[in-house]
Amino acid sequence: MRPEDTDGTGLQVPMTWLSTEYVADELLRTGDLMEPETLEFRAGRDALALTMFLCELPGDAPALRPLPGPRVDELRILTAYGRTWRTWICERLAQAGRCAAPGDPDLALARAAWRWLEETELLAADLDAIGPAPWEPAAGPAEEGEVRIWTPAWQLGLPLGHLAVHLC
């Protein structure tokens, strides 16, 4: 979907990004995984919207509503733990930049979302510090309390987006 010229003013409306962000927001709200007012929710929405947006580069047919089965499967694969999501996002953003028209408002919003996801750090549980897996020997007595670390927002948002896709 190309940005639309609204009332002859030359203002381009980033319809593709706004539609994608809306669908991601609805998926997270429907999944009821996080309160919509939280930064974690925003991280999940932005990570999912960015993934959905970059699945379709210029020339691709938009497939925003509703999410067909193959599209859901693709999103599950792209957002799965252990995938190289960050590398994929960077490569697709670079490719989108080469294909997009100068000043493309959709791409500008996608880049802004990526900057926020990468530069914003959120305090989260350190899953590596919880303890060894049941099949690994314990290193010693466990510490009391939860260990928390600062982590890039995308590292929290990506699993939320993945869960939301599984629940749709």
- The confidence score (pLDDT) of residue 144 equals 58
Distance between CA atoms of residues 46 and 58, nearest Å: 20
Query: Which amino acid is present at 79?
Result: T
Quote the pLDDT of residue 117: 96
Q: Give residue 167's pLDDT.
A: 85
What pLDDT is attached to residue 143?
Answer: 54
pTM, full prediction? 0.78
Q: What is the pLDDT of residue 1?
A: 43
**pLDDT on residue 136:** 56
DSSP H helices in 63-104 = 69-78, 85-99
pLDDT attached to residue 73: 82
Residue 161: closest CA among 55, 15, 14: 55
Q: 110: left (phi > 0), else alpha (psi -120 to 50), else beta?
A: alpha
* pLDDT of amino acid 148: 83
Q: Are strands 148-152 and 4-5 parallel, antiparallel or unpaired?
A: unpaired
Q: Which DSSP symbol is given to 59?
A: T
Q: How far apart are the first and last CA of the chain?
A: 24
Stretches in the chain below the pLDDT threshold 70: 1-10, 57-68, 82-83, 127-145
pLDDT at 116: 97
CB 112 within 8 A of CB 50: no
pLDDT of residue 147: 81
